[in-house]
Each structure stands twice: as structure tokens, then as C-alpha cells.
Copies of this chain bind each other. A is one copy, B any other.
Amino acid sequence: MTYCVALKLNAGLVFASDSRTNAGVDQIACFKKMRSFVNADDRVIVILSSGNLSITQNAINLLEQHGRHAERRNIWNAETMFDVAQLLGESLREVRKHDSVFLAQSNVDSGANFIVGGQIKGEDMRLFMVYAEGNFIEAGEETPFFQIGETKYGKPIIDRVITPETPLSDAVKCVLVSFDSTMRSNLSVGLPIDLACYTASSLQLGFQQHITQDDPYFSQISRRWSDGLKGVFASLPNPEWLTDIDINSDSSE
């Protein structure tokens, strides 16, 4: 399983992915389910992927390979992030057309999803989600984030905290809490977490962090969040419609 999330805030973009399955190593960036295409001062593009690993890898590799041919529209000369999302969707369609019949013969699902976001000089930051069919949608003011993979356990905290005004530091914390909730409820999502942050209009990829089991900050967040939740929970009042008898029966246990 996979969990990936990306936020589009006024302050910038935050991307995070788990890495419990092996997605192999690529030559452009050091992330497993996260791949970045950076040409500083011109464009920063980050892609998160979930689904069939051969499909997602091949689609991104194809996208990268097409990028070596300057005569065609590619990820390095696309004028907008809209074009980049379209190129990614086309690569995905090409790979699925090539492989899905064979996968289907072994009942293997060739489904795959991407989140792709970033900024190209001349336009604002943008964030897209590409569906398995290659079509895609863009994040707006009302929905400033996308999730793919095992999305539900980690959604409530994002729903509560994230607005376009959220600062990057809070957004990073929120994403880590979201991963913590997901990993507690679904063992197939696990550390390390790959995290990348992009500050609006910088046209540079900001910090990247590979958060492993030993990361003291993540351990601290995880422990303090858990203790804090328990504290808030303990402070909630008892329902008045729980009679004295009910409550007494509790405390005698």
C-alpha cells in the first residue's frame, strides 16, 4: 500500500510519500514514490505515485526519456503545469496500453495514480491529480490538497487544519500527523517518509527530508500528538444522559 499527500498553500507546496513498498531508485532524485524534475530558476516539478509499481515507474521513466528530445513538447520545455499533467497522463496511457492486457491475463491490476505539482516560470504554482485513465483534475481554493493510496485514515486531521493560509511549517507538521494516523491504522503504510517542500515563486526545490524510524522529530511529533489527543479526550465531559448508575458501573471496573 501507499500513502501520498500534497498540499497547495499560499506559502508553497508540500509533498510527502511513504515508502513501504520498494519503488526502486531512479537517477533524477533520491525518493522512492516521489520524483522531482528541477531546472532551477525555470521549473520545479514533483510527482508522487501510487498503484502498480511497474506502471508508475515506466510512466515516469517515459516522461523523463521524452524529456531528452528537445524537438518535442516535454517536461523540460512545457510552458505550463497543465501541459505537464497532460504529458504525465499521456505517458501513463502509453504504458498501460502497452502492458495492461498482459497484466490482466494474470489478474494484476494496472491501475496507477499520480499527484503532480510545482511551478514553471511565468505562471503560479499548480497542483494536479492524474487518474488511472490519464485524465486529471487541479486543486483549487476549496480543495487545497490531494491524497492517493490509503487516504482515509489521515484525512480528518488535514480536513481540520489545512487552509490555503496555513504556513509551511504547520503544513509539514500536519502532514506528519496525517502519516502517523495512517501508519497506526494500516500497517502496510510505513516509514521512511519522503518529504519535500517548495516555497512559492522560489523556483528552487526547498528542503527535502527522508524520515526514517530513527528520526527524533517524527518520534517526538508522534508521541506528543498521541499524548495530546489522550489529554483532550480525557478532558471531554461525560454525557449527562449517562446515569449515575452507568457511571458507577464504569468506575467499579
What sequence of 0s and 1s flags, for each residue 180-219 of chain A, a beta carbon within 8 Å of any chain B beta carbon? 0100110000000000010100000011010000000100
Q: Which residues of B contact A250 (CB under 8 A)?
A: 11, 167-170
Q: Which residues of B contact A251 (CB under 8 A)?
A: 167
> Once the chains bind, are A246 and B159 in contact (CB under 8 Å)?
no
Q: Which residues of B contact A199 (CB under 8 A)?
A: 246, 249
A122 within 8 A of B: no
A20 within 8 A of B: no
Partner of A232, one of B12, B172, B209, B232: B232
A236 within 8 A of B: yes
Residue of B nearest to A197 (CB): B246
Name the prevailing secondary structure of the A interface residues: helix
> Once the chains bind, are A253 and B153 in contact (CB under 8 Å)?
no
Q: Which residues of B contact A239 (CB under 8 A)?
A: 169, 172-173, 176, 209, 217
Q: How far is the CB of A196 from chain B (nearest CB, A)?
A: 12
> Once the chains bind, are B156 and A242 in contact (CB under 8 Å)?
no
What sequence of 0s and 1s flags, for each residue 141-160 of chain A, a beta carbon within 8 Å of any chain B beta carbon? 00000000000110111011
Residue of B nearest to A184 (CB): B159
Copies in the complex: 2
Which of the candidate stretches A75-83, A132-140, A222-230 sits at the interface with the other chain?
Answer: A222-230
A165 within 8 A of B: yes
Partner of A12, one of B156, B169, B209, B249: B249
Q: Which chain A residues numbered 48 to 88 have a C-beta less than 8 Å away from chain B? A: none
Q: Which residues of B contact A229 (CB under 8 A)?
A: 157, 160, 229, 232
Q: Which residues of B contact A170 (CB under 8 A)?
A: 233, 250
Query: 6 closest Cβ contacts across the A-B interface?
Result: A228-B232, A152-B152, A167-B250, A156-B181, A11-B253, A169-B238
28 A–B pairs (Cβ distance < 8 Å), ordered by A: A10-B253, A11-B249, A11-B253, A152-B153, A156-B185, A159-B184, A160-B184, A160-B226, A160-B229, A161-B230, A168-B247, A168-B249, A169-B238, A169-B239, A169-B242, A169-B247, A170-B233, A173-B233, A173-B239, A174-B233, A176-B239, A197-B242, A199-B246, A209-B241, A224-B232, A224-B237, A228-B235, A229-B229
